[in-house]
A = this chain, B = another copy of it.
Amino acid sequence: MTSSLHHRAIENLGARIISGELPAGHIMLAEKLEDELKVSRSVIREAVRVLQSLGLVETTKRVGIRVLPSSRWNPFDPQVIRWRLAGDARGAQLRSLAELRSAVEPAAAELAAQNAPAPLRLELVDVAHAMRDAGHKGDVPRFLELDIQFHSLLLSGSGNEMFANLMGQVAETLTGRTVHGLMPDHPHEAALQWHVDVAEAIARGDAVSAREASDRIMRRTMSQMSDTWTEQPRVFIPVDR
């Protein structure tokens, strides 16, 4: 299912476009792709349609399939994010996601305090306490798992489906941070307490405290990570189009 031919074609072309191997403006012909990937026309066509909907290519009659500049890519698409994380732009992608997270999570905490269903609030408190325990014990894998669950619950509890959809990407960044050895064996006590503070503020419906505690977590996270990507160039996308 995941290894259907058109899926593999999407994967192949998407990764090569985003890695820069197929640069913006590069023109491919469907026929060339057919015998390059050894698949039939319909497979290529279906793959190109999907890439088109992601903003990676456009097709023009009498010209072919043109690779679009990165400013046209949909930066919120999970596949695009995955391809960027796998390539040279990994650092820039992680920074973008971290900036988005640090903007969104405090807002999500505020909304969760106002709107989250009761069982979710209770679960959030439980997870925050479990995180503190795992942090004290230095159980890194367990801590990562709980960390992901905590932030997923928070985003989901906001009742905003766009916030909730960031769960997957947040999991990626947290996992990436751990895998890259950016997490100490024992998370700082203050950070552990802030997670508990967020959960308890949400549990009692205190929106202002929830936002403030979440904001503290995010500011600390950003300042921890910021030195690892200072060398990443920023991209300024023109306003028109």
For residue A96, which residues in chain B have a CB less than 8 angstroms away from its CB?
160-162
The answer to whether B239 and A167 touch across the interface, beta carbons within 8 angstroms, is: yes
Q: Is A197 an interface residue (CB 8 A)?
A: no
For residue A77, which residues in chain B have a CB less than 8 angstroms away from its CB?
74, 76-77
The answer to whether A99 and B160 touch across the interface, beta carbons within 8 angstroms, is: yes
The answer to whether B111 and A165 touch across the interface, beta carbons within 8 angstroms, is: no
The answer to whether A162 and B100 touch across the interface, beta carbons within 8 angstroms, is: yes
For residue A24, which residues in chain B have a CB less than 8 angstroms away from its CB?
none
The answer to whether A76 and B159 touch across the interface, beta carbons within 8 angstroms, is: no
The answer to whether A99 and B239 touch across the interface, beta carbons within 8 angstroms, is: no
Q: With A6-B49, A46-B45, A50-B49 in contact, is A161–B75 under 8 Å at CB? A: yes
- Residues of A contacting B: mostly: helix
The answer to whether A156 and B238 touch across the interface, beta carbons within 8 angstroms, is: yes
For residue A152, which residues in chain B have a CB less than 8 angstroms away from its CB?
239
In the docked arrangement, what's the CA distance between A77 and B77, Å? Answer: 7
Chain B nearest Cβ from A187, distance in angstroms: 21
Q: Is A87 an interface residue (CB 8 A)?
A: no
Q: Is A224 an interface residue (CB 8 A)?
A: no
In the docked arrangement, what's the CA distance between A49 and B111, Å? Answer: 35
